[in-house]
């Protein structure tokens, strides 16, 4: 598969603004999807954040495999990267505030020594489109101030928001990188709806999904579509054709692919995590939870 290359102008502008904003904020929240923590990290954002206080926030933890989320938190923690996992609609403000205060402890202590008690903590929130940023911010602010939608790229401009007693949040548009050199990363993003569906063929996304669920969620796949053992052990193409037939679409495998994709996005096949923690870290997953 060829390298997927594209770069809307508003994303280039948003990246420039993010670089400028780093000069004025105390800390950055880099939001990633808990179902694909690394694939949903923009490598260009990672590079500009290297020398700045930052916390990785795994959103949509209620959609991800909890065991894998714990492994990812451990991975980031042992790598020296502060990270938390949140459900975008429940209890996120306290979890994030606690982690911010921990990461900025020295800076806040110096402010206190100088008698600066009232200064709010400025926080820039960044991430790729459709990572759950607006939903999370609305919950933290306790108002519907950030636009929310199922399609990527809902937030078009940056805005400052107040959260809790001490936080000033800078909401920014979702930023993708110019090209996906690894087509698998693009397929993962497409499956979760982070990028426009038109960038990949539905059947390519569906075949990737079938391969993944055969290995990681076979009971859900088999039960959802009443697949026989032979249909499960068949090639991924034949399994897609079986799903298409049982969905009542006869030989229209494109509609079958679309049905599968929507079912996965609507959590009909359970909780899942597409990215796997590097093996050297995955084997050491019993350390303290970095959320603590």
Is 39 a known ligand-binding residue? no
Is 88 a known ligand-binding residue? yes
Cβ atoms of 58 and 32 within 8 Å: the answer is yes
Is 133 a known ligand-binding residue? yes
Is 174 a known ligand-binding residue? yes
SS3 6: coil
Helix pair angle (202-216, 236-246), 10° resolution: 100
Is 270 a known ligand-binding residue? no
Q: What is the DSSP secondary-structure string of 148-188? A: --SSS----S-EEEEETTTEEEEE------SEESSHHHHHH
Counting every residue written for the chain, the total comes to: 292
For residues 34 and 76, what is the distance between their CA atoms, to the nearest angstrom? 13
For residues 267 and 282, what is the distance between their CA atoms, to the nearest angstrom? 25
Is 134 a known ligand-binding residue? yes
Q: What Å distances lie between residue 202 and 78, 103, 172, 206, 260, CA to CA? A: 37, 42, 30, 6, 9
The CA angle 282-283-284, to the nearest 5 degrees, is: 90
Is 95 a known ligand-binding residue? no
Across the chain, which distance is largest between two alpha carbons, in Å? Answer: 73
Q: What Å distances lie between residue 34 and 25, 38, 160, 204, 214, CA to CA? A: 25, 9, 25, 23, 20
For residues 57 and 31, what is the distance between their CA atoms, to the nearest angstrom? 5
Which residues contribute to the annotated binding site for GTP? 87-88, 130-135, 174
Which residues contribute to the annotated binding site? 87-88, 130-135, 174
């Amino acid at each position: 598969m060829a390298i997927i290359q594209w770069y809307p102008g508003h994303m280039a502008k948003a990246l420039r603004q993010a670089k400028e904003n780093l000069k004025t904020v105390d800390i950055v929240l880099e939001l990633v999807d808990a179902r694909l923590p690394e694939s949903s990290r923009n490598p260009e954002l990672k590079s500009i954040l290297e020398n700045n206080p930052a916390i990785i926030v795994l959103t949509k933890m209620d959609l991800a495999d909890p065991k894998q989320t714990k492994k990812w938190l451990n991975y980031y923690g042992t790598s020296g990267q502060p990270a938390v996992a949140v459900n975008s609609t429940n209890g996120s403000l306290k979890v994030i505030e606690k982690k911010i205060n921990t990461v900025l402890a020295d800076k806040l202590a110096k402010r206190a020594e100088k008698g600066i008690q009232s200064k709010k903590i400025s926080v820039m929130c960044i991430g790729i489109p459709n990572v759950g940023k607006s939903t999370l911010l609305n919950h933290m602010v306790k108002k519907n101030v950030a636009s929310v939608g199922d399609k990527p790229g809902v937030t078009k401009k940056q805005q400052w928001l107040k959260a809790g007693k001490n936080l000033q949040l800078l909401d920014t548009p979702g930023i993708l990188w110019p090209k996906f050199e690894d087509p698998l990363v693009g397929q993962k993003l497409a499956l979760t709806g982070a990028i426009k569906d038109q960038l990949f063929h539905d059947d390519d996304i569906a075949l990737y999904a079938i391969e993944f669920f055969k290995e990681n969620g076979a009971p859900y796949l088999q039960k959802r579509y009443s697949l026989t053992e032979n249909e499960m052990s068949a090639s991924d193409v034949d399994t897609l054709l079986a799903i298409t037939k049982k969905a009542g679409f006869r030989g229209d495998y494109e509609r079958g692919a679309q049905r599968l994709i929507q079912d996965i996005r609507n959590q009909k096949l359970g909780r899942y995590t597409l990215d796997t923690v590097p093996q050297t870290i995955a084997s050491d997953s019993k350390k303290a939870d970095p959320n603590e």
